[in-house]
Amino acid sequence: MNSLSHVAIIMDGNGRWAKKNNSPRKNGHLQGSKNIKNIAEFCIKKKILYLTLFAFSFDNWKRPTSETDYLFYLFENFIKQNLDILLKKNIKINFIGEKIKIPSKIKKLINKVEMLSKDNNGLFLTIALNYSSKHEITNSVNKLFLKKKNKKVSILDIEKNLYTSNIPNPDLLIRTGGYSRLSNFLLWQISYTELFFVKKFWPDFNFKDLNLIIKKYKMIKRNFGKV
């Protein structure tokens, strides 16, 4: 039976959940944000060490400004309302992504959260905010060009300069919302990750759904290139 230390989730389907429920898109995002704490608490219960959530893509700037502004408003409120709870649960919070375009008050909040939780050693919660895997890999290679000059670059060199250099690669990646695509998320890190695509929209995805996927994951024969 496979061990499981790191779960990554593409939290998709908030807008379509809202449409299905004859509700404004904003309400879909609101319900989706409420689901984060529930899933994090279940991961703690299951003794999963790492949880990585795709919260906002670099490509999401293509959406209307009113929607992107609301998403950052939700993010700010979620952190402010739940920070004490997250800290009490010994959760270490980490953010990955580009700092470009992120509002200054959100940057300050990110720095505050990371500082307050830096000594926690429970669940390692990573939030991908304004994240692009292609940008991440490009940034890693550019850093190496400056350091290495004409020397050869290895796989390990690139991995050491990724945003996720301090955490293991995901064992399991889940995408809610019914689409079977990766949307520029952790492309380097998931080369041997088990992928699960779920029809349920993110606001409806619950601990029972996650538990069922975990059970299926543990029964998979993982070869990593071997027979």
Which CATH number covers residue 60?
3.40.1180.10
Estimate the crossing angle of helix 207-219 against helix 25-45, to 10 degrees.
50
Active site residue 27: no
Contact yes or no for 41/211 (Cβ under 8 A): no
Contact yes or no for 200/176 (Cβ under 8 A): yes
**In 3-state terms, what secondary structure has residue 126?**
strand
This prediction has a pTM of 0.94
- Residue 195 in any domain: the answer is yes
- Residue 227 in any domain: the answer is no
Instruction: Exactly one of 12, 94, 169, 171 is catalytic; name it.
Output: 12
- Residue 1 in any domain: the answer is no
How many separate domains does the chain show? 1
pLDDT one digit per residue (tens) for the chain, 227 residues: 778 999 999 999 999 999 999 999 999 999 999 999 999 999 999 999 999 999 999 999 999 999 999 999 999 999 999 999 999 999 999 999 998 889 999 999 999 999 999 999 999 999 999 999 999 999 999 998 888 666 788 999 999 999 999 999 999 999 999 999 999 999 999 999 999 999 999 999 999 999 999 999 999 987 777 76
Contact yes or no for 197/63 (Cβ under 8 A): no
- Residue 162 in any domain: the answer is yes
Active site residue 204: no
* Domain span at 80: 6-219
- Residue 150 in any domain: the answer is yes
Instruction: Exactly one of 14, 27, 59, 60 is catalytic; name it.
Output: 60
